[in-house]
């Protein structure tokens, strides 16, 4: 096996070669990696929270129970939170940037760009095949995705440990609360 065919990073062979030949597919691959990693995190958490809400149903306010169940989706929407790079973007070498400043997008922009994922993920994949720099959420947040330095997945945990509270986080919580409040009316019958 030649060096370019050998899978040195545990993913798909020589990723640089794939990037040059198929940039649209490479970008969608980062979305799929994100989706798989986030599902590995979210599904067990969702099952645990759903079980807790079902077990304590008689003791919980229904809004609190719904909030607990929607918490894993809130985590999914914040996957680009650290350095504007989700796990898949770190592995494949992408970053979300602000279109006006060309600086890394702030946390609020990253959250806003992911709001479309809950309701239009398949459409976002199709848009990314056509336009790897900008999907629908990028138009909402005035961001785009660019090639950046690749990072190991463990850098995500390092960034998580070094996070400090910022004013943007309050905006994310407020927007997230409003978003999920509206979404809960579509998903749950709240008579």
Interval 87-113: pLDDT, tens: 999 999 999 999 999 999 999 999 999
Which residues on neighbouring strands pair with residue 104, listed in sequence order? 97
Q: Which two tokens stand for residue 129?
A: 């095949």
> pTM score, two decimals?
0.76
**Res 186: pLDDT:** 74
pLDDT in tens, 23-61: 788 888 999 999 999 889 889 998 998 888 888 888 877
- E strand segments, the chain: 94-98, 143-147
Q: What single DSSP character describes residue 164?
A: -
Specify the long-range contacts of residues 166-172, CB closer than 8 Å, at least 24 apart. Answer: 166/107, 168/106, 168/107, 168/108, 169/107, 171/108, 172/78, 172/107, 172/108, 172/111
For the chain, give every domain's residue range. Answer: 15-187
């Amino acid at each position: 096996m030649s060096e370019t065919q050998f899978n040195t990073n545990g993913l798909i062979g020589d990723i640089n070669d794939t990037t040059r030949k198929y940039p649209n597919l490479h970008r969608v691959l980062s979305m799929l990696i994100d989706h798989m990693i986030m599902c590995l995190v979210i599904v067990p958490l969702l099952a645990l929270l759903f079980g807790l809400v079902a077990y304590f149903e008689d003791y919980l306010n229904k809004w609190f129970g719904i909030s607990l169940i929607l918490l894993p989706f809130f985590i999914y929407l914040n996957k680009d939170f650290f350095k504007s790079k989700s796990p898949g973007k770190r592995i494949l070498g992408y970053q979300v940037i602000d279109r006006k400043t060309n600086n890394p997008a702030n946390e609020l922009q990253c959250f806003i760009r992911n709001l479309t994922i809950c309701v239009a993920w398949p459409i976002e994949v199709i848009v990314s095949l056509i336009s790897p720099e900008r999907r629908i959420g990028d138009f909402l947040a005035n961001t785009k995705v660019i090639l950046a330095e690749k990072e190991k997945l463990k850098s995500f945990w390092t960034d998580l440990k070094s996070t400090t509270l910022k004013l943007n986080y309050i905006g994310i919580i407020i927007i997230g609360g409003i978003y999920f409040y509206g979404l809960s009316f579509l998903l749950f019958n709240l008579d």
